[in-house]
Amino acid sequence: MGCVTGRGGQLLQKVSQPPTVGKTYTMTVMVKALREPVQLRLEIERAGRPWDRAYRGEMVTIPVGEWTPLHATFTVDKPFPEGWQAYVACFDDGGLFRADVLQLYEGTYVPWQQAATSRENLFANPSFEAGVAPWSFSPDVNRNRRRTYRRASFMLSRILANMGVGATPPLLEHFATPPGGGADAETVLRNGDLGADADANGTPDDWAVSLYAGTADTAREQLPDGAGWAQRMTIAALRDDGKGSAMLAQHDVPATAGQWYRISFRARAEGLEGVRVPVALVSTEDWQAIVEYQRFVPAAQWQDFSFLVQAKRTAEAKTRFQIWFDRVGSVWLSDIRMAPVNAPDQGRWLAGLYLDQPEEWDDPYRFFRW
């Protein structure tokens, strides 16, 4: 359900068979709330004017993730020659729920499994096996009542400006932090700043450089500003068969299935204009990617690169994080990180932009296009 008014939204079906006055009927449905609890109630009314009720239940709070029976038993006290229509009503703005096994039968309440074999269900297609029909969903939507944080911030700023007071839209504060939440956790890569080289062999500790080319070399170099280190890899000439590669890699990098990570580093290149350089974390058992391959195009000047990736499976060892290229040229890499972060599709990115609740019928945005 989207933004609703007091009328709410109804999942309903019209029953053409009129009820018998004086008899007892029961309506029941299995419901489950999604994302957050919702309030629902059962209603049965005349299928035509004046739409008077045969039954109107009380609001019931349905918990999240748990199938809950919602049922009502009532006695018909007046004729409904037009037939009747029964529905599940929801009045929560943004409420989400699932419904299944809807039943309307003569008699008192029994569990749905027993009713399925012993009672005649007046509803057609009670579990949606045949699609949606003859069920319908009738929400009462008023889009002008939706208040976005952007509109509210703009209107407040405009009012303050008319009073001679400056204002900074708080919406901008939401974009101060990149997707995935706040500060990154500890990187899972070791010696990511390339600062340690205990044996002074030109390759940072915990890292390996693989050169496969006619002429190639590598070196650990201090950055021009003296603030850190970079690893240079150079392919001066390919092999006679026209092939070659240079790779910076680290083994046994852990990953957890479903966890999001931010891979970030600084890089520059010479002689590789427009070449896309791949980054990957792979299993050394079957050489399948643990995170999706990413690619970047380094330029002659130092640039920062960042990728949000999600691990496909869990691995504590027998993995390899690798950055490599296969053309003649040079690549410099520095400050390499792979840190777990919050999921980019959760948190402020969903909740921060739409902080709205129905408050009034009017919205100046609708009239003045603010």
Q: Cβ(77)–Cβ(105) under 8 Å?
A: no
pLDDT value for 313: 93
Distances (CA, A) of 216 to 209, 233, 248, 328: 11, 8, 13, 9
- Token code pair at residue 19: 């009820």
- pLDDT tens sequence across 141-185: 554 444 555 667 677 777 877 887 765 555 555 555 555 555 557
Residues 97, 34 contacting (CB under 8 angstroms): yes
Q: Are 256 and 222 in contact (CB under 8 A)?
A: no
Cα-flanking dihedrals φ and ψ of residue 243, to 5°?
-110, 160
Distance CA 337, CA 321 (A): 11
Do 208-341 and 4-141 fall under one CATH topology? yes
Superfamily assignment of 4-141 in CATH? Answer: Galactose-binding domain-like (2.60.120.260)
pLDDT in tens, 300-332: 999 999 999 999 999 999 999 999 999 999 999
Tell me the helix, strand and coil percentages in the chain, rounded to 5: 10, 40, 50
Q: What CATH number was assigned to the domain covering residues 208-341?
A: 2.60.120.260
Strand-pair category, 277-283 with 24-34: unpaired
Task: Give the residue among 337, 339, 183 at the shortest CA–CA distance from 261.
Answer: 339
Rounded Cα gap, residues 351 and 182, in angstroms: 15
pLDDT in tens, 56-77: 888 889 998 889 999 999 999 8
* Domain parsing of the chain, residue ranges: 4-141, 145-179+347-368, 208-341
